[in-house]
Amino acid sequence: MRRSYVKMGRSWLQAGVKIDGMLGGCEPLFLESVVSWFEQCYRSNPEYRSEIAEIHAGLNRTATTWADTTGAAKPVRDMVVDSEAILKRLSASLSSTQPPSISVVIPVYGHYDYLQRCLESLASQGDVPIEIVCVDDASPDPRITTLMRELADRLPRLKISIQNVNVGISAVQNSAVELACGDFVAFLDCDDELEPGALVAVRDCLVARPEVDYLFTDRIEVDEKGRVIRTARYGGYEGLQFSGQENIRSDLLDGMVASHLKVIRRSVYLETGGCDTMLAGVQDWDLALKIAEKYRLHYLATPLYRHRVHSQSVTRRDMVAQFRKTNQVRRRFFERWFPRDGARVSGLKRLIFSAASFPVPLSELKAAWKDGAVCVADARGKLNIDQQNFLRESGSFFDAILWNDPRVPTALYGYLNQEVALTFSM
């Protein structure tokens, strides 16, 4: 009999919820760890995805209703998909006889309420010859599939691909870049928008700087209704300011500064292997670091992208896995850019950082790595929540974390990459 990964995953989540209730709130992020493990060991498994695809296929054959975001059932026959309005808006922008210089890649998964505005924002991009590549990653909302099918083969520079099985953001982006024809690919999430004239500004910058292989801009963050929350400069990190084009590579080790809007030379994207399918959620950061090793990045300090922040944003989900993958990526590139001979690690200078010094400035930790030191976090005793969060976010800098209170490894479970040794020490 075939094992059901869907049933096993459901049992895992149910057990996690039960244990979380027994803990009585003393480990407020325990359930996040449970969900993270579910994502890593069940949902990412091809067998799980195959089962889900079979279930979707059965539902599509028999379903007569769908649920909107409020949970209210609506008849399928009442769905309204305004594909003609989208095509009318895009027709002029996609009519250029010149080869496309920029391919706008849009991975599609849900977000029906925002998708029309996303696509129509590309109608206000001036005289830049573009194409649009949409890849629907087996969206569970049937309205998305209907819309994609109605848009397919209607405009020569609007390419639509519909996946039968959900394969994840990394694989979808790689597939879309393969389909693209432009010299550069610009990435646009399906719930976001471009500012009017954004691609003209990008085109002009690339023409003036032909050596650039990866261009990125600032972004405007908006809420569900499009109201401006803030303008995020240089990745939007507090305390991380742009200090020169020559420092982008180093700054990338601190965080994903090279984000929205991202425009990458297609040949470079393909040569570096594209997005890692095991790093969904931080795949863009990993890609930027890979490209920074050999190619030229450039920061265009203008907000050209409207990034929507809402309850269904990917950045708000599965926090534990995001931290773990962040630690994994940072560790990978620290070891690659500041290599240490594994056979000599025991003889290297050891720097011990006490819990009282948490959070240790990233500049200090980076300097220790550049100096070839072995970094140890002395987390013995009881840690407060800020100290725990520091280790969750920055655990990849350490070779070992010392503890004598069992609540410490429990609090870090699921957050750290395997290179970090959690060591009991009195």
Which two three-digit tokens encode residue 73?
A: 């059932």
Catalogue the long-range contacts made by 409-416 (C-beta closer than 8 Å, 24 or more residues apart). Answer: 410/27, 410/30, 411/27, 411/29, 411/383, 412/388, 413/33, 414/32, 414/33, 414/36, 414/37, 414/320, 414/321, 414/324, 415/33, 415/320, 415/323, 415/324, 415/327, 415/391, 416/324, 416/327, 416/391, 416/392
| Spatial separation of the C-alpha atoms in residues 277 and 286, rounded to whole Å | 11
- Return the pLDDT at 339: 83
- Return the pLDDT at 333: 94
Domain residue ranges in the chain: 5-62, 83-316, 340-424
Mean pLDDT by 10 residues, the chain (426 residues): 71 78 73 73 69 58 41 45 88 90 96 92 94 95 92 95 92 96 97 96 97 97 91 90 95 92 97 94 95 97 93 60 90 89 62 93 89 91 93 91 92 85 86
Superfamily of segment(s) 83-316: Spore Coat Polysaccharide Biosynthesis Protein SpsA; Chain A (3.90.550.10)
Q: pTM of the full predicted structure?
A: 0.79
- Return the pLDDT at 190: 94
Query: Using an 8 Å Cβ cutoff, are 386 and 359 in contact?
Result: yes
- Return the pLDDT at 185: 98
